[in-house]
Amino acid sequence: MKISVIGTGYVGLTTGICLAEMGHEVLCMDVDEQKIANLRQGKIPIYEPGLEELLSKNNLTFSTNIQEAIEFGEVVFSAVGTPMGQDHKADLKYVKAVAKSFGKHAKDYKVFVNKSTVPVGTAEICRKIIKEQTDQKFDIVSNPEFLREGTAVQDTLHPDRIVLGTDSEKAKEKLTELYQQNKEKILFTDIKSAEIIKYSSNAFLATKISFINEIANFCEKTGGNIEDIAKGMGLDSRISNKFLRAGIGYGGSCFPKDVQALIETGKEHDYSFEIIQATEKVNLKQKSLLFHKLRKHISDLNGKTIALLGLAFKPHTDDMREAPSLTIAKLLAEEGAKIQAYDPASKHPLNNCTSAEEATQNADAVLLITEWPEFQELDWSKIASTMKTPLVLDGRNFLKNIPEKFTYESIGK
């Protein structure tokens, strides 16, 4: 099938390349000329394992021309960003712009598929915008995306489920053909349910994390080991062991903004989400936990050198959006501490060292922020000899076999 994908971020690019891998003819479009220029040369603008290799195997067309993009596909995916606005609501300006362009340039029947995470009712807003531009027949599908950064390719080629919200039999047939290889994973719903499934899934997972973090904080007062507790809970298949890793809170481009957007959509409909508000509140507190632990060891941080291992919001990505490292770095800077940070992928200015060894040199303490596997391979005896004080605070309960000479603390133990 001929498919257009508007927006070549984590979601759009992964979707486009994976659809090409599935045998479709794909055009990816973005307003960012630099991104498109790089993509035309086979260069991926993000860190996403496996994506560049997959691009090199497939023939995709890249464009910055919206008219060409809309005219190309019989199915047009919109995968533009829906960032958090000042009011904490999802900002729909990019989605609305794509809908307007779709209406303007669709010359024959096409299906408009929204992949961005959008509040319930957005498909109807898009439908109205498109109808203002054209009398051409079209259908709308809400197809929320569930991929995780770092495993985006795997998640897209082998998804747990493909949610398709639509009121059109014709669109159902088209999308079933498009997702032929995973058709047993399709769940058809009405449009509003599909839109809500995305937010409720992310809010539920975020709630699981805040829940286990609260139990971890409780353990620090009572005794008990959060890892054994999570294991014991997770053995109950109704609970499952997934998303029960205690730590320094969730970050990323989705959970923080989606949790807040759902709370705001609730307010618009005169509904107050009590549990989800608590999820958000617990997470905000958790993000500064490691800093407060550090302060118990070093009361005056002014002039002290603090090593941060990992900066990205999770391993296997360069994404720094809403990363706990940003909260911690801000608090450290406010206290006058010197930060030496190393992350294997982040391009953020905070990433001022080229190795963990360099970051820990002369450090008064090490904070493990992101659980990159390479940090488990470090020679901690060697590191101890280059640090001022052998203090390690592990924000992800990740490090193993830290030598006795270190003061080592983790979360919820």
Please, which residues have CB within 8 angstroms of residue 371's CB and are 6 or more apart in sequence?
A: 310, 314, 315, 396, 398
Q: By rule CB under 6 A, what string of x and - marks binding of each residue 309-348 to ligand UDX?
A: ----xx----------------------------------
Note whether 146 binds ligand UDX by CB under 6 A: yes
For residues 120 and 198, what is the distance between their CA atoms, to the nearest angstrom? 10
Query: Of 94-102, 272-280, 325-333, 351-359, which part binds ligand NAD (CB under 6 A)?
Result: 94-102
Nearer to ligand NAD, 201 or 352 (CB): 201
For residues 402 and 132, what is the distance between their CA atoms, to the nearest angstrom? 64
At CB < 8 A and 24+ separation, what contacts does 33-41 make? 33/64, 35/8, 36/8, 36/62, 36/63, 36/64, 39/8, 39/13
For residues 191 and 176, what is the distance between their CA atoms, to the nearest angstrom? 16
Q: Is the dihedral of CA 78, 83, 84, 85 positive or negative?
A: negative
Please, which residues have CB within 8 angstroms of residue 85's CB and are 6 or more apart in sequence?
A: 91
Note whether 88 binds ligand UDX by CB under 6 A: no
| Count, residues near ligand UDX per rule CB under 6 A | 19
Considering only CA atoms, give the Rg of the chain. Answer: 23
Q: Which does 209 bind (CB under 5 to 8 A by kind): ligand UDX, ligand NAD, none?
A: ligand UDX
Q: Which does 211 bind (CB under 5 to 8 A by kind): ligand NAD, ligand UDX, none?
A: none
Binding ligand UDX (rule: CB under 6 A), the pick from 75, 147, 282, 363 is: 147
Note whether 149 binds ligand UDX by CB under 6 A: yes
* Contact present, 48 and 149 (Cβ < 8 Å): yes
Nearest distance, CB of residue 239 and ligand UDX, angstroms: 12
Q: Which does 174 bind (CB under 5 to 8 A by kind): ligand NAD, ligand UDX, none?
A: none
Note whether 250 binds ligand UDX by CB under 6 A: yes
Note whether 35 binds ligand NAD by CB under 6 A: yes
Note whether 244 binds ligand UDX by CB under 6 A: yes
Look up 254 and say whether it is catalytic.
Answer: yes
Note whether 149 binds ligand NAD by CB under 6 A: yes
Binding ligand NAD (rule: CB under 6 A), the pick from 36, 147, 171, 206 is: 147
Binding ligand UDX (rule: CB under 6 A), the pick from 55, 209, 369, 383 is: 209
The H-assigned helical ranges of 30-135 are: 33-40, 51-57, 66-72, 93-105, 122-133
For residues 208 and 218, what is the distance between their CA atoms, to the nearest angstrom? 15
Copy the structure tokens of residue 270: 């005169």
Inter-helix orientation angle 324-334/289-297, to 10°: 40
Q: By rule CB under 6 A, what string of x and - marks binding of each residue 186-205 to ligand UDX?
A: ----------------x--x
* Contact present, 251 and 265 (Cβ < 8 Å): no
Footprint of ligand UDX on this chain (CB under 6 A)? Answer: 145-149, 202, 205, 209, 243-245, 247, 250-252, 254-255, 313-314
Footprint of ligand NAD on this chain (CB under 6 A)? Answer: 6-12, 29-32, 35, 79-82, 94, 97-98, 116-117, 145, 147, 149, 253-254
